[in-house]
Structure 1
Amino acid sequence: MWVWLIGGMAVFVVAVCAAAAYVALFVGDAARREMAYRVLKLVLGAGTGTGGVLMIAMKLYEIGAL
């Protein structure tokens, strides 16, 4: 169950980051590029933060602390 949860979250974060990076790099409209860059920063920050918290929670569960 944990593997599917982590895998799904990782796939979602990678897909959103790839789409936002594509728009930020290759779209001609400056407003859309700026908004895509904001989305990219938000998703990378939230995704890496959530991933770290999830991994700590899993380790605590494995050792019996949770």
Structure 2
Amino acid sequence: MAKSRNNLLGVGGQRKKLSRAEQQGAGPARNDDRKAAEDKKQELVRKMRERAAAAAEAAPAQDAPADS
């Protein structure tokens, strides 16, 4: 059994040359992840606002005294 069985450095050809931004984790994939996260956040905020608006509309109707 080889000594460094878990060390696969160099297996599979040469590694891609990374730009400075990609080395720091700011590559194109990160930009896509940020966009997806922002979209999810906007959708969540929209849902929360809709629920709050529905609750605000329902609350005065329940609190108002009924004229009998």
Normalising by structure 1, we get a TM-score of 0.47
More helix by percentage: 1
In our comparison, the structure showing a higher alpha carbon Rg is: 2
Normalising by structure 2, we get a TM-score of 0.46
Q: Which of structures 1 and 2 has the larger relative contact order (alpha carbons within 8 angstroms, sep 6+)?
A: 1
